[in-house]
Amino acid sequence: MAKDRYQDFAERYDLFHEKFGEHKPVYRTFFQKLFVENKIHSVLDCACGTGHDLHLFHSLGCEVVGSDVSDSMLARARKNLKGLNIKIPLHKIDYRVLHKHLKRKFDAVACLSSSILHMSDKKEVIRAFLSMRRVMCENGMLVLTQGTTDKQWKLKPRFILSSSKEDFSRLFVIDYTERGARYHVLDIPHGKPKQDLKVWYVDYEQMLLKDDYSKLLQLAGFSNIRFYGSYKFEPYTKKGSDVLIAVARK
């Protein structure tokens, strides 16, 4: 059996987010407005990780299902949700074959936090988009988010402080390649008792940016593709945006 590549840091992945069950107001408001205006009542988070967005979508009154390719991530999600007495169906599924395992359809499919960047090439991205589209209701909605933007790809900063809290900081040290990047993640604890520095990394073999998504989503049959550069619905700009959000219709 192949080793779960996320096994060693599933628990640390939670540190990307707020305390489980808490969400930044601007992030919550973005999805609340998006779902209300588009009459979204059911959501599949197809790369749900440790469950933070599952909780958010549930708190917005949606019927929610989560899936992920990692047993370790799903185990952590179950633990997190159980801690708040929330029951959400979770499934181990590669998002390239959702349609082979899920017999129902959803108003929206979410693939957040750079999750699509784990695909090794554009053919696999299209395969994933096609599978996501097949489990959507008619006129269903796809939502993608990532932190790497055209601005970052042009400037190629080596160091990015991702999080700085009272007891913890997270620093990205980035090695760029011609097509992708390796994000070395340094988790730095503060205060006492003294704790060890934790270091891990995430590889993105192929970076995807606005123009890539526009083309690939169209090839997969999506239309009405919109791009935002913040969770305030500000238009995406290649020169200035620090987040890339894509919303598309089936």
Please state the domain extents for the chain.
10-149+208-249, 151-204
Q: What is the rounded CA–CA span in Å between residue 35 and residue 30?
A: 9
Rounded to 5 degrees, φ, ψ at 246 are -115, 135
pLDDT in tens, 203-216: 999 999 999 999 99
Enumerate residue ranges in the chain where pLDDT < 50: 1
Q: What is the rounded CA–CA span in Å between residue 4 and residue 12?
A: 15
Domain 10-149+208-249 sits in CATH 3.40.50.150? yes
- Tell me how long the chain is: 250
pLDDT value for 1:
42
